[in-house]
Amino acid sequence: MATNPVPRFPAGFLWGVSTSAHQIEGAADEREPSVWDAFTARPGRVRDGSTAAVACDHYHRHREDVALLAELGVDAYRFSVSWPRMRSKGGPDFYDRLVDDVCAAGVRPVPTLFHWDLPLGLDWLQRDTAERFAEYVSNVAARLGDRVATWITLNEPAEHTLLGHALGVHAPGRRLLFDALPAAHHQLLAHGLAVRALRAAGATDIGIANSHTPAWPASPDRADMEAAGFYDVLLNRLFADPLLLGRYPEGLGELMPGDVRADLRVIAEPVDWYGVNYYAPTRVGAPQETETGAGGVTVPAGLPFSLRPVEGHPVTDFGWPVVPAGLTELLTTLRDRYGDRLPPVVITENGCSYEGIDDQDRIAYLDGHVRALHEAIAAGVDVRGYFVWSLLDNFEWAEGYTRRFGLVHVDFATLRRTPKASYAWYRELILAQR
């Protein structure tokens, strides 16, 4: 356990914790289905054969979970609103109650409007989905906007495109490789339309949660450097460039459907802050003739890059390398790349999967990353908040219940919640920053 106190963060810095609807709510039979319900029903798609039908049963136990938030002492709670549930009887009332209870606990509610659970029947390859999303966002804002000030439009469109539409390991399970790019464009368009819908409803604090990873070349060889550069474009710039600069990285705009120039004006609607989800760097090499993988992701041969394990660092139970300095590198790179086009940054996710309730490994991971974040701030990056992923152990997508990211342990047989050592550590950290 780290003993040196974490340095002081700027006054007003927001300490938070994150979850998402599909991963914790359960009560799947009390809402319309999503693409994830259809995907997990297909044999062999989830490591332990599980589904999110019950998950943490947060839908029925949210009061207990809000009490855990209150006890933790966080300033803010990032959760997601399930689009399928908003279309179901009882769904809007549930989010009303949740937001009321979170506010009553003195915690700021920060809803994400899309965290991968697309209503079954909708499809990000269709442009129309972006317009439908904006209508849904207007409904949510009309319902919750009197108590919610801070909004997140989308969670990790890069992962949703790559894993769900290009590689087929997440819902909706498509293996389109580069033909998945329209799904990226339509999510970006959905984001821009959502920003407009939220502004029309009076919102003044809007962000997006984008995943980022430093793309480290496997070696200084030209082929590895080029491959890493390409990966950097795909993972770090494909979404950030249109959002922050109003253009696609070179060569990608031509692959997008529709009137891209007009769409880019919508996509680049200014946001109030930029959310970064960071877990680990990625080591990238020149293409190989067989599939390659690292950190739980496997990519087929035939792509212009291969994935290589990051060496010389400890790894989490998921096999992800633990590299806190990667967070400082990432944030200073974003600042250097986008300059004054980069709004204030919020770390909307950071965390790790480890077994056990006395989770000293998680404490070491979080401690290292919070210090790395402080270094980025000291280097001049304007960072305003940090959210741990996640409050609860939960349904980790294609990994089912085999990966535990929570500050709170959940026994999935009894649904009993037990705060871990990391929960007490985070509580102390927040108290010490007051």
Sites of contact with ligand IFM (CB under 6 A) = 20, 23, 156, 277, 349, 389, 396, 405
Phi-psi region of 174 (alpha: psi -120 to 50; beta: other; left: phi over 0): beta
Residue 362 CB, shortest distance to ligand IFM, in Å, is: 13
Question: Which candidate in 25, 32, 269, 349 is catalytic?
Answer: 349
CA distances from 212 to 240, 274, 344, 384, 412 (A): 9, 12, 16, 17, 31
The tokens describing 109, both together, are 């509610």
Q: How far is the CB of 24 from ligand IFM (least distance, A)?
A: 10
CA–CA dist 191, 20 (Å, integer): 18
> Nearest approach, Cβ of 131 to ligand IFM (angstroms)?
25
**Shorter beta-carbon distance to ligand IFM: residue 57 or 396:** 396
Q: How far is the CB of 92 from ligand IFM (least distance, A)?
A: 23
Nearer to ligand IFM, 159 or 272 (CB): 159
Of 294, 298, 292, nearest to 281 (Cα)? 294
Q: Which of 25, 32, 156, 269 is catalytic?
A: 156
Q: Assess whether the previous peptide bond of 88 is cis (omega < 30° from 0).
A: no
Rounded Cα gap, residues 212 and 327, in angstroms: 9
Question: Cβ closer to ligand IFM: 156 or 224?
Answer: 156
SS3 call for 381: coil
| Residue positions counted in the chain | 434
Is 349 marked active-site? Answer: yes
**352/381 with CB nearer ligand IFM:** 352
Q: Assess contact for 279 and 320: CB atoms under 8 A.
A: yes
| Cβ atoms within 10 Å of 327's Cβ, excluding its own | 27
Give the angle 162-213-47 at the CA atoms, nearest 5°.
50
For this structure, is 269 an active site residue? Answer: no
In the complex, the smallest distance separating the C-beta of residue 23 from ligand IFM, rounded to whole angstroms, is 6
Active site residues: 156, 349
